[in-house]
């Protein structure tokens, strides 16, 4: 299992002919293997206790998948396109079926064999360290993409693999933004695991490597997400303030180095995401029931650029978690997804919760993808963690919970919290 979790971060197909073939499909193949491995462990264990919280998540996921199926059948692009998703991200209905199976089975596996949690974390951290190391050569020469056509151009500024200079440094992903999320999640997961005494202090030696690689990607959302996760873990108000100021300075410095001509300053600071969000909201208003999985390019196959010319849409997603789901499976499906996410988050007492914080902050201006979304749902699969706290060997003393964590939980609407706790207590 250690190796599988590392491979889910690292594996690529250097012989692939497209971005999806090279960077997405191999990682999904590892996810399939993880699901099979989890099912094998469950089948070998004669008696598996299914808690009430597990049933709540399972039933909610079934309804969610039914909603995805309806949106897929009604998709203007056809059922097959919605089943497989966008050619790059491959986060269609089939992928989300895998995510559901992985989330539910991993929750059961860790209740059967809690010692596997440490193996999973180590695999994730080691994979992320290798990812970080892979980024450094790309800083010196952007044509390095670790494929069989490494360094060869399709035309003057695009490699045969489809990588452009602006995508680099990508590490072992198709875009620097994807690699940045994994690095930020790894840093948060490492700190949370060390704080809860799952990993020894020696693992902190990896932090400078991971964080340096993260900064080299110049991905503002991932950097901000890591600062938020650190503040969440530390809980000191002074640290929160310093983190906020440092994040703001870093983000502004990165933003001022980007030159996007012909657009307003707000659009420039957000890399034109304001425009993408408006396009998404317009599409949702026209069809509140969704366009099918990975629905942004289905709703907007073409668009007008700043010169008012009609071009194929260069964007693959809405760059916002809620907008992406609303445009794909409708407003009701989006609400259901967020409820499942919220339940798994607010009933989660695992040492890896900071990784979910990174994911939430990151997807405010980015999106989900078959290359890395399994990382978030691996953490969220620990929604049964508190229930099985006596079974897990590696747990933190409840008195060490940070003040920010307590504050964050205290601000959840009281009725929602009572419902979650009532179900969890059964």
Residue identified by tokens 């290798």 is 130
Task: Look up the pTM and report it.
Answer: 0.86
**CA separation for the pair 392, 338 (Å, rounded):** 27
Residue identified by tokens 């339940």 is 343
Percent of the chain with pLDDT over 70: 80
Question: 21, 13 in Cβ contact below 8 A?
Answer: yes
**Segment holding 338, helix H or strand E:** helix 321-346
DSSP string, 212-260: HHHHHHT-HHHHHHHHHHHHHHH--HHHHHHHHHHHHHHHHHHHTT---
Q: Residues with Cβ < 8 Å from 303, sequence gap 6 or more?
A: 279, 310, 311, 313
Q: How far apart are the first and last CA of the chain?
A: 31
Average pLDDT in the chain: 85
pLDDT at 7: 97
**Could you tell me where the DSSP H helices lie in 11-158?**
19, 25-44, 52-73, 79-84, 93-112, 116-140
**Which of the residue ranges 160-164, 165-169, 184-188, 245-249 would you say has the lowest mean pLDDT?**
245-249
pLDDT at 238: 61
**CA separation for the pair 277, 358 (Å, rounded):** 21
**CA separation for the pair 370, 99 (Å, rounded):** 10
Copy the structure tokens of residue 96. Answer: 């989300």
pLDDT at 390: 46
Q: What is the pLDDT of residues 217-230, one digit of tens each?
A: 989 889 989 988 98
| Residue 243: pLDDT over 80 | no
More confident residue, 70 or 411: 70
Q: What is the pLDDT of residues 171-218, one digit of tens each?
A: 999 999 999 999 999 999 999 999 999 999 999 999 999 999 999 998
pLDDT at 157: 81
């Amino acid at each position: 299992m250690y190796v599988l979790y590392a491979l889910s971060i690292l594996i690529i197909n250097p012989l692939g002919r497209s971005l999806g073939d090279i960077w997405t499909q191999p990682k999904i193949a590892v996810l399939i293997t993880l699901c099979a491995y989890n099912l094998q462990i469950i089948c070998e264990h004669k008696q598996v206790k299914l808690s009430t919280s597990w049933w709540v998540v399972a039933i909610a996921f079934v309804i969610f998948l039914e909603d995805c199926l309806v949106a897929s059948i009604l998709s203007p692009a056809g059922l097959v396109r919605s089943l497989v998703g966008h050619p790059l991200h491959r986060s269609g209905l089939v992928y989300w079926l895998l995510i559901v199976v992985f989330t539910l089975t991993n929750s059961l596996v860790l209740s059967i064999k809690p010692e596997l949690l440490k193996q999973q974390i180590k695999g994730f951290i080691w994979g992320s360290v290798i990812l970080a190391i892979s980024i450094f050569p790309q800083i010196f020469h952007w044509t390095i993409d670790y494929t069989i056509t490494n360094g060869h151009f399709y035309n003057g500024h695009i490699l045969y693999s489809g990588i452009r200079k602006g995508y680099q440094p990508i590490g072992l992903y198709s875009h620097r933004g994807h690699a940045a999320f994994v690095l930020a999640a790894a840093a948060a997961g490492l700190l949370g695991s060390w704080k809860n005494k799952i990993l020894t202090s020696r693992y902190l030696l990896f932090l400078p490597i991971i964080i340096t690689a993260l900064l080299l990607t110049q991905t503002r959302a991932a950097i901000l997400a890591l600062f938020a996760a650190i503040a969440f873990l530390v809980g000191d108000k002074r640290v929160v303030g310093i983190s906020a100021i440092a994040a703001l300075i870093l983000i502004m410095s990165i933003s001022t180095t980007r030159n996007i001509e012909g657009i307003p300053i707000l659009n420039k600071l957000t890399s034109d995401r304001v425009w993408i969000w408006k396009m998404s909201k317009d599409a949702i208003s026209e069809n509140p029931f969704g366009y099918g999985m990975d629905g942004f390019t289905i709703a907007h196959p073409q668009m007008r650029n700043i010169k008012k010319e009609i071009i194929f849409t260069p964007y693959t997603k809405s760059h916002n978690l809620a907008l992406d789901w609303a445009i794909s499976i409708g407003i009701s499906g989006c609400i259901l997804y967020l409820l499942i996410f919220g339940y798994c988050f607010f009933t989660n007492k695992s040492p890896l919760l900071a990784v979910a914080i990174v994911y939430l902050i990151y997807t405010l201006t980015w999106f989900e993808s078959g290359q890395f979304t399994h990382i978030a749902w691996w953490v969220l699969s620990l929604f049964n963690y508190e229930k099985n706290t006596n079974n897990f060997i590696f747990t933190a003393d409840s008195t060490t919970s940070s003040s920010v964590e307590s504050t964050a939980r205290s601000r959840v609407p009281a009725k929602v919290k009572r419902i979650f706790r009532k179900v969890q207590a059964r």
